[in-house]
Amino acid sequence: MENTTVRLAVRPEGEINDRTFVIASEPVPSLSEGDIRVALEYCSVDPAMRTWLSEITSYVPPMAIGELMRSGGIGEIVETKSADFQVGDKVMGRFGIQSVYSGSTLDVIKLESTNIDIRHYLGGLGGTGLAAYFGLLDVGALKNGETVVVSAAAGAVGHIVVQIARLKGCKVIGIAGGAEKCSRVIEEYGADACIDYKSEPLAERMKNLCPDGIDVYFDNVGGETLEAALDNIALGARIVICGAIGEYDNLDSVNGPRNYLNLIGKAARMQGYVNFHFAEHYETARADLIKWNQEGKLQFRDQTEQGIENFPAILKMLFAGKNNGKLLLKI
């Protein structure tokens, strides 16, 4: 049995390129006692992947040269030496970008059969849905009726944030690139308005749409968008730093927000987080997300791209803003 793997070959400077990864076929190892073998069906493709490729320790150490590209994935057990898993079980875990996972059951979760599309466990019920949930409700301490602005509002995390803010009775302004995305943010996710940063003056539109200021700004992009938001915060505002996709290609020369001193006069805060800081609340969060989904108040948008050999190109889609909702790789 052969396993197709994606490994880090050369750390990219700036955008990832043809030399960044090496894609190869490797024989699968035999299983040790307690191990499982999983035929992967879907892998999660996330902006944070770009940060792990840089020689910078963020919340996890950087990837080593030759290391399998880290990723969450879903697949089916095809061989097992673990009493806890049967052949045919659908499982989720940190399997990496490869076609066949062979190894321990550490942090592997069995997905019980439900009427939920299993892909959602990598999206709206996975890391991105939880990031939206904890970021908006815990870090952002969202209160009913507040004014919320969300960048990358058609993206994996953003489209969930828009919908949760909406169902909490908030005024929601999205920011996205292009008329098609903006229209989806309004029509499908329920935002009151969406600013097309590619064709509209961002700061001016933000000011007009939020005359009383922004209570919660949920930031996925950084850069000038963050600065425009900082210029329009309300007293007591919370800025949720979920990510900064605009900066990930150049983590060693990030632009800090030049107007961060606006935090002073507005008694405002800017706060970051990673999901695992809320690990004890995963179950509650997933239960809420499933409930809202089944009530028809929250949809999970996935975009599935085919072929492990296309992984580098698929990862690049995120930084070109070419994804709608959560980006998945079908193996």
- Least distance between a copy of itself and beta carbon 58 (Å): 5
Q: Give the nearer residue to a copy of itself in terms of CB position, either 259 or 310.
A: 259
CB 93 within 8 A of CB 118: no
- Least distance between a copy of itself and beta carbon 256 (Å): 3
User: How many Å apart are CA 81 and CA 176, to the nearest integer?
Assistant: 47
The token pair that represents 241 in the structure block: 């730093």
For residue 117, give the amino acid letter: D
Helix 282-294, helix 158-167: angle, nearest 10: 70
CB 36 within 8 A of CB 130: no
- Least distance between a copy of itself and beta carbon 61 (Å): 11
For residue 293, give the amino acid letter: N
User: How many Å apart are CA 216 and CA 229, to the nearest integer?
Assistant: 10
Q: Give the nearer residue to a copy of itself in terms of CB position, either 183 or 259.
A: 259
In the 3-class helix/strand/coil scheme, how is 184-230 assigned residue by residue?
Answer: HHHHCCCCCEEEECCCCCHHHHHHHHCCCCEEEEEECCCHHHHHHHH
- Least distance between a copy of itself and beta carbon 265 (Å): 3
Q: Give the nearer residue to a copy of itself in terms of CB position, either 77 or 229.
A: 229
Applying CB under 8 A, the residues found at the interface with a copy of itself are: 58-59, 222, 227, 235, 241-244, 247, 251, 253-274, 277
User: How many Å apart are CA 181 and CA 22, to the nearest integer?
Assistant: 33
Q: Give the nearer residue to a copy of itself in terms of CB position, either 87 or 254.
A: 254
Q: Give the nearer residue to a copy of itself in terms of CB position, either 258 or 291.
A: 258
User: How many Å apart are CA 176 and CA 156, to the nearest integer?
Assistant: 12
Task: Please provide the DSSP assignment of 70-138 as one string.
Answer: P--EEEEEEEE--TT--TT-EEEE---SBSEEEE--TT-EE----SS-GGGGGTTTSHHHHHHHIIIII
CB 281 within 8 A of CB 257: no
